[in-house]
């Protein structure tokens, strides 16, 4: 129930206005968002690299219906690629197709994304297409396959384990040797489309993880769940799959203890580092995924609230 409410609020304009204007909201969001500028994202990347972690940088934004705004978002990605290259950072980039104009026009989307892929290919950089709500799943995969057919190989996709269709999608992607990031999923979906029970989502995740490790091309196992991490490690060991053939992925600011432990244990770790002004819906979905994130945000906002003295929090 709480998860559904937070996902609903992630799309509410009134809730967005209230939260983004709340005392301490921006500073609290910095736990999960590197900042609002390319420089903020690069600085976070630099620090994570120094800790032995790889990075994928993401400029926050989605559901763009304005061509100028979509072009501007693509321009930011070009800046990111140039900065990563200039500083020789261990990083690639992730993007959402609706931010690039997917809901505007297919030809425009192709032109806009093509600029990013061409720049990235010139410097041998990988680009990941994030997966959004199920209404865009088929469109995203169709667009990806059109690029793949045209010879782009510096691109991969995300598959969500809570979608009932995902096993078939991974079978096709594995056959084509596409790089896949596997996550559980963070959107509100109907039962006809997605598993609703946590046990079913987890079972699907383990099944898809095993398919990717055994038959995929350098998959990203994206999870903060110790049970999923343990299942991955145990399966890889049982099948004699070397840790160099896959990587774990986690979100910036979430389970930093686990991130560090996996690096110490000799596993590859990539941190998804978001930045940008459109941090509100991203933050709400992170809270929906993990209650501990919600407690952290609430406590932080209360500490910075001008009313804390009336709440017994002034020290």
Cα–Cα distance between 16 and 25 in angstroms, integer? 11
Q: What angle do CA 241, 244, 245 make, to 5 degrees?
A: 55
Q: Helix, strand, or coil here: 158? A: strand
Catalytic residue among 119, 128, 130, 268: 130
CB atoms within 10 A of CB 263: 16
Cα–Cα distance between 189 and 263 in angstroms, integer? 34
Cα–Cα distance between 61 and 277 in angstroms, integer? 8
Cα–Cα distance between 191 and 208 in angstroms, integer? 19
Cα–Cα distance between 214 and 212 in angstroms, integer? 6
Catalytic residue among 179, 181, 270, 286: 181
Q: How far is CA 306 from CA 2, 23, 25, 83, 302, in A?
A: 27, 8, 13, 39, 8
Cα–Cα distance between 307 and 315 in angstroms, integer? 13
Calculated CA dihedral for residues 256, 258, 263, 266, nearest 10 degrees: 180
Name which of 156, 159, 161, 160 is nearest 177 in CA terms: 156
Is 181 one of the annotated active-site residues of the chain?
yes
Cα–Cα distance between 183 and 186 in angstroms, integer? 9
Which residues fall within 8 angstroms of residue 25, CB to CB, at 6 or more apart? 19, 301
- Active-site amino acid positions: 130, 181
């Amino acid at each position: 129930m709480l998860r559904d409410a937070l996902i609903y609020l992630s799309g509410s304009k009134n809730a967005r206005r209230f939260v983004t204007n709340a005392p301490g909201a921006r500073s609290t969001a910095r736990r999960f968002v590197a900042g609002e500028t390319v420089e903020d994202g690069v600085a976070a990347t630099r620090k994570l690299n120094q800790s032995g972690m790889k990075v994928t940088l993401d400029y926050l934004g989605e559901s763009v219906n304005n061509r100028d705004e979509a072009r501007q978002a693509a321009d930011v990605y070009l800046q990111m690629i140039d900065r990563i290259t200039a500083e020789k950072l261990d990083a690639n980039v992730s993007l959402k197709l609706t931010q690039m104009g997917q809901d505007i026009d297919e030809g425009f989307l192709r032109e806009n994304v093509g600029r990013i892929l061409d720049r990235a290919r010139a410097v041998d950089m990988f680009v990941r297409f994030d997966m959004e709500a199920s209404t865009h799943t088929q469109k995203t995969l169709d667009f990806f396959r059109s690029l793949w057919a045209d010879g782009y190989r510096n691109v991969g996709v995300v598959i969500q384990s809570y979608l009932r269709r995902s096993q078939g999608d991974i079978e096709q992607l594995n056959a084509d040797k596409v790089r896949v990031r596997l996550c559980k999923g963070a959107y509100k979906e109907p039962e006809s489309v997605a598993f609703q029970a946590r046990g079913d989502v987890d079972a699907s995740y383990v099944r898809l993880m095993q398919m990717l490790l055994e038959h995929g091309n350098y998959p990203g196992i994206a999870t903060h769940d110790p049970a999923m991490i343990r299942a991955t490690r145990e399966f890889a060991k049982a099948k004699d799959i070397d840790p160099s053939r896959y990587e774990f992925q986690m979100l910036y600011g979430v389970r930093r203890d686990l991130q560090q432990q996996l690096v110490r244990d000799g596993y590859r770790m990539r941190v998804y580092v978001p930045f940008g002004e459109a941090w509100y819906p991203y933050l709400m979905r992170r809270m929906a995924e993990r209650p501990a994130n919600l407690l952290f945000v609430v406590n932080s906002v209360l500490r910075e609230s001008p009313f804390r003295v009336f709440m017994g929090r002034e020290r």
